[in-house]
Amino acid sequence: MTASRRYFVSSAASLAAAGWMPGLAHAQTAWPAKTVHLHVTFAPGGVTDAAGRLLAEHLTRRFGQTVVVENRPGAAGNIGAGFVAKSEPDGYNLVLVLEGTIVFNPHLYDKMTYDPVKDLVPVGKVGDSTIVFVAHPSAGVKNLQEAIALSRARSGGLSYATAGAMTITHIVGEMMKQRTNANFVHVPYRGGGPAVADLLAGHVPLGFVSAASVHQHLRSGKLIALGVPSARRSPTLPDVPTFEEAGVTGFAANPWAGIFAPARTPQAVVERFNSELNALLATPEVRDKLAGMGITATPIRLDQFAAEIRRELDAYGPMLKQANIRADSS
Protein backbone atom coordinates (compact mmCIF):
# COMPACT_ATOMS: atom_id res chain seq x y z
CA MET A 1 0.00 0.00 0.00
CA THR A 2 1.40 3.40 -0.95
CA ALA A 3 1.98 6.18 1.55
CA SER A 4 -0.87 8.15 -0.03
CA ARG A 5 -3.32 5.27 0.31
CA ARG A 6 -2.29 4.56 3.89
CA TYR A 7 -2.89 8.21 4.61
CA PHE A 8 -6.45 8.11 3.33
CA VAL A 9 -7.34 4.85 5.06
CA SER A 10 -6.77 6.49 8.40
CA SER A 11 -7.69 10.09 7.59
CA ALA A 12 -11.19 10.15 9.05
CA ALA A 13 -10.12 8.49 12.28
CA SER A 14 -7.07 10.72 12.48
CA LEU A 15 -9.14 13.89 12.18
CA ALA A 16 -11.19 12.86 15.19
CA ALA A 17 -8.21 11.64 17.19
CA ALA A 18 -6.34 14.88 16.58
CA GLY A 19 -9.21 16.89 18.02
CA TRP A 20 -10.51 18.34 14.76
CA MET A 21 -14.03 17.99 16.06
CA PRO A 22 -15.24 20.07 19.01
CA GLY A 23 -15.30 18.63 22.50
CA LEU A 24 -12.50 16.08 22.13
CA ALA A 25 -9.81 17.87 24.13
CA HIS A 26 -9.57 19.00 27.71
CA ALA A 27 -9.94 22.64 28.62
CA GLN A 28 -7.16 24.88 29.78
CA THR A 29 -7.54 28.03 31.81
CA ALA A 30 -5.73 31.37 31.82
CA TRP A 31 -4.48 31.23 28.25
CA PRO A 32 -2.48 33.06 27.09
CA ALA A 33 -0.30 33.73 30.11
CA LYS A 34 2.92 34.35 28.15
CA THR A 35 4.23 35.08 24.66
CA VAL A 36 2.56 33.21 21.79
CA HIS A 37 4.80 32.24 18.87
CA LEU A 38 3.28 32.32 15.38
CA HIS A 39 5.57 30.43 13.02
CA VAL A 40 5.31 31.47 9.36
CA THR A 41 6.37 28.90 6.78
CA PHE A 42 7.82 31.43 4.32
CA ALA A 43 10.74 33.85 4.37
CA PRO A 44 10.33 37.52 5.35
CA GLY A 45 9.15 39.86 2.63
CA GLY A 46 6.35 37.80 1.15
CA VAL A 47 2.58 38.12 1.54
CA THR A 48 2.27 35.24 4.02
CA ASP A 49 4.86 36.86 6.26
CA ALA A 50 3.15 40.26 5.98
CA ALA A 51 -0.23 38.72 6.84
CA GLY A 52 1.27 36.93 9.82
CA ARG A 53 2.79 40.13 11.18
CA LEU A 54 -0.48 42.00 10.72
CA LEU A 55 -2.38 39.32 12.64
CA ALA A 56 0.29 39.11 15.35
CA GLU A 57 0.11 42.86 15.95
CA HIS A 58 -3.66 42.88 16.38
CA LEU A 59 -3.88 39.58 18.29
CA THR A 60 -1.34 40.97 20.75
CA ARG A 61 -3.83 43.72 21.60
CA ARG A 62 -6.75 41.33 21.87
CA PHE A 63 -4.95 38.76 24.02
CA GLY A 64 -3.04 41.16 26.23
CA GLN A 65 0.05 39.03 25.59
CA THR A 66 2.68 39.39 22.89
CA VAL A 67 2.26 37.39 19.70
CA VAL A 68 5.57 37.18 17.85
CA VAL A 69 6.26 35.96 14.32
CA GLU A 70 9.06 33.50 13.65
CA ASN A 71 9.95 32.59 10.07
CA ARG A 72 10.61 28.90 9.37
CA PRO A 73 10.67 28.56 5.57
CA GLY A 74 11.43 25.51 3.47
CA ALA A 75 10.12 22.17 2.18
CA ALA A 76 6.74 23.57 1.10
CA GLY A 77 5.86 24.46 4.68
CA ASN A 78 6.98 21.15 6.17
CA ILE A 79 9.79 22.67 8.23
CA GLY A 80 7.62 25.19 10.07
CA ALA A 81 4.59 22.92 10.32
CA GLY A 82 6.73 20.02 11.51
CA PHE A 83 8.30 22.17 14.20
CA VAL A 84 4.92 23.21 15.56
CA ALA A 85 3.51 19.69 15.26
CA LYS A 86 6.22 18.49 17.64
CA SER A 87 5.82 21.41 20.05
CA GLU A 88 4.12 21.23 23.41
CA PRO A 89 0.34 21.29 22.81
CA ASP A 90 -0.26 24.25 25.10
CA GLY A 91 -1.27 26.93 22.57
CA TYR A 92 2.01 28.85 22.65
CA ASN A 93 3.34 27.61 19.31
CA LEU A 94 1.11 28.00 16.26
CA VAL A 95 1.85 27.90 12.54
CA LEU A 96 0.52 29.97 9.65
CA VAL A 97 0.51 27.89 6.48
CA LEU A 98 -0.84 27.97 2.98
CA GLU A 99 -3.28 25.35 1.79
CA GLY A 100 -0.68 23.13 0.11
CA THR A 101 1.14 22.28 3.33
CA ILE A 102 -1.95 20.57 4.68
CA VAL A 103 -3.75 19.21 1.61
CA PHE A 104 -0.95 18.74 -0.97
CA ASN A 105 2.04 17.56 1.02
CA PRO A 106 0.58 14.23 2.21
CA HIS A 107 0.19 13.29 -1.47
CA LEU A 108 3.57 14.67 -2.57
CA TYR A 109 6.06 13.44 0.03
CA ASP A 110 6.86 9.80 0.71
CA LYS A 111 8.63 10.75 3.92
CA MET A 112 7.41 13.42 6.32
CA THR A 113 8.43 14.09 9.92
CA TYR A 114 4.81 14.74 10.88
CA ASP A 115 1.28 14.00 9.72
CA PRO A 116 -0.71 17.17 8.90
CA VAL A 117 -3.95 15.54 10.06
CA LYS A 118 -2.79 13.50 13.05
CA ASP A 119 -0.29 16.00 14.43
CA LEU A 120 -1.94 19.37 13.76
CA VAL A 121 -5.35 20.83 14.52
CA PRO A 122 -6.88 23.83 12.68
CA VAL A 123 -7.53 26.88 14.84
CA GLY A 124 -8.66 29.32 12.16
CA LYS A 125 -8.86 30.14 8.48
CA VAL A 126 -7.37 33.53 7.63
CA GLY A 127 -8.59 33.87 4.07
CA ASP A 128 -8.37 33.03 0.38
CA SER A 129 -5.76 34.51 -1.93
CA THR A 130 -4.97 34.84 -5.63
CA ILE A 131 -1.86 33.79 -7.48
CA VAL A 132 -0.88 35.17 -10.88
CA PHE A 133 1.44 34.10 -13.68
CA VAL A 134 3.73 37.00 -14.59
CA ALA A 135 6.54 37.82 -16.98
CA HIS A 136 9.43 40.27 -16.97
CA PRO A 137 9.18 42.63 -19.98
CA SER A 138 12.51 41.31 -21.28
CA ALA A 139 10.87 37.92 -21.85
CA GLY A 140 9.03 39.44 -24.81
CA VAL A 141 5.64 37.87 -24.11
CA LYS A 142 2.34 39.63 -23.46
CA ASN A 143 -0.06 36.75 -22.79
CA LEU A 144 -0.21 33.14 -21.70
CA GLN A 145 -0.24 31.60 -25.17
CA GLU A 146 2.80 33.62 -26.23
CA ALA A 147 4.71 32.37 -23.17
CA ILE A 148 3.78 28.77 -23.96
CA ALA A 149 4.80 29.14 -27.61
CA LEU A 150 8.13 30.80 -26.77
CA SER A 151 8.97 28.12 -24.21
CA ARG A 152 8.50 25.45 -26.89
CA ALA A 153 10.55 27.36 -29.46
CA ARG A 154 13.48 28.35 -27.26
CA SER A 155 16.25 25.85 -26.60
CA GLY A 156 16.24 25.11 -22.89
CA GLY A 157 12.75 26.49 -22.47
CA LEU A 158 11.75 29.33 -20.13
CA SER A 159 12.36 29.43 -16.39
CA TYR A 160 9.63 30.31 -13.92
CA ALA A 161 10.07 31.33 -10.29
CA THR A 162 7.94 30.20 -7.35
CA ALA A 163 7.91 30.54 -3.57
CA GLY A 164 9.45 27.06 -3.32
CA ALA A 165 9.38 23.46 -4.47
CA MET A 166 6.04 21.71 -3.90
CA THR A 167 4.28 24.97 -2.96
CA ILE A 168 0.95 25.65 -4.64
CA THR A 169 2.68 28.01 -7.07
CA HIS A 170 4.95 25.16 -8.14
CA ILE A 171 2.07 22.67 -8.36
CA VAL A 172 0.04 25.04 -10.55
CA GLY A 173 3.06 25.64 -12.78
CA GLU A 174 3.66 21.94 -13.28
CA MET A 175 -0.01 21.21 -13.95
CA MET A 176 -0.14 23.99 -16.53
CA LYS A 177 3.06 22.68 -18.09
CA GLN A 178 1.57 19.21 -18.46
CA ARG A 179 -1.70 20.47 -19.91
CA THR A 180 0.01 22.65 -22.52
CA ASN A 181 3.26 20.76 -23.25
CA ALA A 182 5.07 24.00 -22.45
CA ASN A 183 8.82 23.80 -21.85
CA PHE A 184 8.83 25.61 -18.50
CA VAL A 185 11.73 25.07 -16.09
CA HIS A 186 11.03 25.47 -12.38
CA VAL A 187 13.26 27.74 -10.25
CA PRO A 188 12.27 27.45 -6.55
CA TYR A 189 12.96 30.21 -4.01
CA ARG A 190 12.65 30.31 -0.24
CA GLY A 191 9.49 32.40 -0.29
CA GLY A 192 7.58 34.80 -2.49
CA GLY A 193 9.70 37.82 -1.54
CA PRO A 194 12.97 36.47 -2.98
CA ALA A 195 11.13 35.15 -6.06
CA VAL A 196 9.64 38.57 -6.82
CA ALA A 197 13.01 40.26 -6.27
CA ASP A 198 14.66 38.10 -8.93
CA LEU A 199 11.69 38.56 -11.28
CA LEU A 200 12.02 42.33 -11.01
CA ALA A 201 15.76 42.09 -11.64
CA GLY A 202 15.14 40.06 -14.78
CA HIS A 203 17.12 37.09 -13.47
CA VAL A 204 14.17 34.81 -14.23
CA PRO A 205 11.67 35.57 -17.04
CA LEU A 206 8.44 34.11 -15.61
CA GLY A 207 6.90 33.46 -12.23
CA PHE A 208 3.91 32.19 -10.30
CA VAL A 209 3.49 34.56 -7.35
CA SER A 210 0.82 36.01 -5.10
CA ALA A 211 -1.15 38.76 -6.78
CA ALA A 212 -0.61 41.18 -3.92
CA SER A 213 3.17 40.81 -3.99
CA VAL A 214 3.32 42.12 -7.57
CA HIS A 215 0.28 44.36 -7.82
CA GLN A 216 2.26 47.61 -7.79
CA HIS A 217 4.79 46.20 -10.24
CA LEU A 218 2.02 45.27 -12.66
CA ARG A 219 0.66 48.82 -12.49
CA SER A 220 4.10 50.29 -13.12
CA GLY A 221 4.83 47.93 -16.01
CA LYS A 222 7.84 46.34 -14.34
CA LEU A 223 6.05 43.00 -14.68
CA ILE A 224 3.33 41.76 -17.04
CA ALA A 225 0.35 39.67 -15.88
CA LEU A 226 -0.28 36.69 -18.16
CA GLY A 227 -3.17 35.03 -16.34
CA VAL A 228 -4.66 33.85 -13.06
CA PRO A 229 -5.31 30.13 -12.39
CA SER A 230 -8.59 30.94 -10.66
CA ALA A 231 -12.18 29.94 -11.26
CA ARG A 232 -13.00 33.59 -11.89
CA ARG A 233 -11.14 36.86 -12.42
CA SER A 234 -9.52 38.38 -9.37
CA PRO A 235 -11.21 41.50 -7.96
CA THR A 236 -7.75 43.04 -7.56
CA LEU A 237 -6.76 42.16 -11.15
CA PRO A 238 -10.03 42.46 -13.07
CA ASP A 239 -8.33 42.97 -16.44
CA VAL A 240 -6.23 39.80 -16.19
CA PRO A 241 -7.83 36.74 -17.85
CA THR A 242 -8.24 33.43 -16.10
CA PHE A 243 -6.36 30.42 -17.46
CA GLU A 244 -9.69 29.08 -18.69
CA GLU A 245 -10.25 32.26 -20.68
CA ALA A 246 -6.71 32.02 -22.02
CA GLY A 247 -7.27 28.47 -23.26
CA VAL A 248 -5.76 26.38 -20.44
CA THR A 249 -8.57 24.35 -18.93
CA GLY A 250 -9.14 21.75 -16.27
CA PHE A 251 -7.94 23.25 -13.01
CA ALA A 252 -8.20 26.27 -10.75
CA ALA A 253 -6.38 27.28 -7.60
CA ASN A 254 -7.28 29.85 -4.95
CA PRO A 255 -4.96 29.03 -2.07
CA TRP A 256 -6.12 29.69 1.47
CA ALA A 257 -4.05 30.63 4.49
CA GLY A 258 -4.81 29.09 7.87
CA ILE A 259 -3.44 28.77 11.38
CA PHE A 260 -2.82 25.43 13.07
CA ALA A 261 -1.77 24.22 16.52
CA PRO A 262 -0.27 20.94 17.72
CA ALA A 263 -2.76 18.11 18.09
CA ARG A 264 -4.11 17.68 21.62
CA THR A 265 -4.03 21.42 22.20
CA PRO A 266 -6.86 22.03 24.71
CA GLN A 267 -10.15 22.68 22.96
CA ALA A 268 -10.75 25.76 25.09
CA VAL A 269 -7.54 27.28 23.69
CA VAL A 270 -8.46 26.35 20.11
CA GLU A 271 -11.91 27.87 20.47
CA ARG A 272 -10.59 31.01 22.15
CA PHE A 273 -8.08 31.59 19.36
CA ASN A 274 -10.69 30.91 16.68
CA SER A 275 -13.13 33.32 18.29
CA GLU A 276 -10.56 36.11 18.58
CA LEU A 277 -9.25 35.52 15.04
CA ASN A 278 -12.74 35.59 13.52
CA ALA A 279 -13.60 38.77 15.38
CA LEU A 280 -10.35 40.33 14.16
CA LEU A 281 -10.98 39.29 10.55
CA ALA A 282 -14.39 40.95 10.68
CA THR A 283 -12.93 44.36 11.51
CA PRO A 284 -12.74 46.79 8.56
CA GLU A 285 -9.12 47.69 9.32
CA VAL A 286 -7.77 44.15 9.19
CA ARG A 287 -10.11 43.07 6.40
CA ASP A 288 -8.99 45.99 4.23
CA LYS A 289 -5.30 45.47 4.95
CA LEU A 290 -5.55 41.81 4.06
CA ALA A 291 -7.41 42.73 0.88
CA GLY A 292 -4.48 44.97 0.00
CA MET A 293 -2.31 41.86 0.27
CA GLY A 294 -4.61 39.95 -2.05
CA ILE A 295 -6.22 37.95 0.76
CA THR A 296 -9.99 37.86 1.20
CA ALA A 297 -10.62 37.53 4.94
CA THR A 298 -12.70 34.42 5.64
CA PRO A 299 -13.82 34.11 9.27
CA ILE A 300 -15.50 30.69 9.55
CA ARG A 301 -16.29 28.19 12.29
CA LEU A 302 -13.84 25.44 13.20
CA ASP A 303 -16.12 22.69 11.92
CA GLN A 304 -16.52 24.49 8.59
CA PHE A 305 -12.76 24.85 8.19
CA ALA A 306 -12.16 21.20 9.09
CA ALA A 307 -14.80 20.11 6.56
CA GLU A 308 -13.19 22.23 3.84
CA ILE A 309 -9.82 20.62 4.55
CA ARG A 310 -11.28 17.12 4.36
CA ARG A 311 -12.93 17.89 1.00
CA GLU A 312 -9.67 19.20 -0.44
CA LEU A 313 -7.66 16.24 0.86
CA ASP A 314 -10.01 13.94 -1.02
CA ALA A 315 -10.10 16.08 -4.17
CA TYR A 316 -6.41 16.82 -4.66
CA GLY A 317 -5.14 13.26 -4.19
CA PRO A 318 -6.42 11.94 -7.54
CA MET A 319 -5.58 15.22 -9.29
CA LEU A 320 -1.94 15.14 -8.20
CA LYS A 321 -1.66 11.44 -8.95
CA GLN A 322 -2.98 11.97 -12.46
CA ALA A 323 -0.51 14.80 -12.98
CA ASN A 324 2.26 12.51 -11.63
CA ILE A 325 3.65 15.28 -9.42
CA ARG A 326 5.82 14.01 -6.58
CA ALA A 327 8.45 15.46 -4.29
CA ASP A 328 11.94 14.02 -4.27
CA SER A 329 11.66 11.13 -1.82
CA SER A 330 15.39 10.69 -1.44
Over 70: is that where the pLDDT of 22 sits?
no
DSSP string, 175-240: HHHHHHT--EEEEE-SSHHHHHHHHHTTSSSEEEEEHHHHHHHHHHTSSEEEEB-SSS-BTTBTTS
Residue 255, Cβ neighbours under 10 Å: how many? 22
Query: Which amino acid makes up residue 52?
Result: G
User: How far, in Å, CA of 268 to CA of 90, rounded?
Assistant: 11
Radius of gyration of the chain (CA): 19
- Residues 272-309 have pLDDT tens digits of 999 999 999 999 999 999 988 888 899 999 999 999 99
Over 90: is that where the pLDDT of 255 sits?
no
Over 80: is that where the pLDDT of 115 sits?
yes
User: How far, in Å, CA of 219 to CA of 215, rounded?
Assistant: 6
Q: Which of 142, 128, 91, 103 is closest to 287 using CA atoms? A: 128
| pLDDT band for position 12 (cuts 50, 70, 90) | very low
Q: What percent of the chain stands above pLDDT 90?
A: 62
| Domains defined for the chain, CATH in brackets | 3-128+255-323 (3.40.190.150), 131-227 (3.40.190.10)
Instruction: Please report the pLDDT score of residue 205 as a whole number.
Output: 98
Instruction: Please report the pLDDT score of residue 20 as a whole number.
Output: 56
Residue 291, Cβ neighbours under 10 Å: how many? 15
| pLDDT band for position 7 (cuts 50, 70, 90) | very low
User: How far, in Å, CA of 299 to CA of 276, rounded?
Assistant: 10
Residue 30, Cβ neighbours under 10 Å: how many? 5
The overall pTM is greater than 0.85: no
Determine the average pLDDT of the residues in 61-77. 94
Handedness of CA 318, 151, 330, 72 (dihedral sign): negative
| pLDDT band for position 3 (cuts 50, 70, 90) | very low
| pLDDT band for position 35 (cuts 50, 70, 90) | very high
Instruction: Please report the pLDDT score of residue 230 as a whole number.
Output: 84
In the DSSP assignment, the letter for residue 116 is T
Q: Which of 43, 57, 211, 218 is closest to 128 using CA atoms? A: 211
Instruction: Please report the pLDDT score of residue 244 as a whole number.
Output: 92
Q: What are phi and psi of 37, to 5 degrees?
A: -105, 120
Beta bridge partners of 49: none
Instruction: Please report the pLDDT score of residue 330 as a whole number.
Output: 33
Instruction: Please report the pLDDT score of residue 124 as a whole number.
Output: 97
Determine the average pLDDT of the residues in 33-42. 96
Residue with the bigger pLDDT between 237 and 254: it is 237
